[in-house]
Amino acid sequence: MTNRPDTEWLEQLPPAPDRSKLNAAEALLRRMSEARKGEEVEFERRMASLDAEVEAARRSWQQRRAEAERIVARERRAYRKAGGIVENGILTLVINHRASSCRRSRPANTIPDRG
């Protein structure tokens, strides 16, 4: 008698089911998952780029607005110095004329004759 394992029972088992379709489906799922990971990386890169663009635009706007506010303040000072006043945020020109500066002297020969 030899010490060989009994393999007769293996021959009685049904054949293994075909795994080819399952293997193909799992491979497809792996490829899809890898592709999605790549998309996510690209989305993150694009979002970071867009965030940087938005922030740059915000900083630019803040700088331009600050400059415009400095110009407005400078022009308001000049306007006030020239005699204008600011009421409720609206610039209004005030013309101060003395009563004497509004009268005109007429030469004697220009007075109409009432005769």
Structural contact between residues 93 and 84, judged by C-beta atoms closer than 8 angstroms: yes
Three state DSSP letters for the chain: CCCCCCCHHHHHCCCCCCCHHHHHHHHHHHHHHHHHHHHHHHHHHHHHHHHHHHHHHHHHHHHHHHHHHHHHHHHHHHHHHCCCEEECCEEECCCCCCHHHHCCCCCHHHCCCCC
C-alpha 78/C-alpha 84 separation (Å) is: 9
Instruction: Using the predicted structure, report yes or no on whether residue 103 has a pLDDT greater than 50.
Output: no
Q: Most confidently modeled of 12-21, 34-43, 92-101?
A: 34-43
Instruction: Using the predicted structure, report yes or no on whether residue 3 has a pLDDT greater than 50.
Output: yes
Tens of pLDDT, residue by residue over 35-62, are: 999 999 999 999 999 999 999 999 999 9
What is the token pair recorded at 112?
A: 């109409």
**Distances in Å between the alpha carbon of 42 and those of 28, 37, 39, 51, 54?**
21, 9, 5, 14, 18
The residue extents of the domains of the chain are 23-105
C-alpha 32/C-alpha 71 separation (Å) is: 58
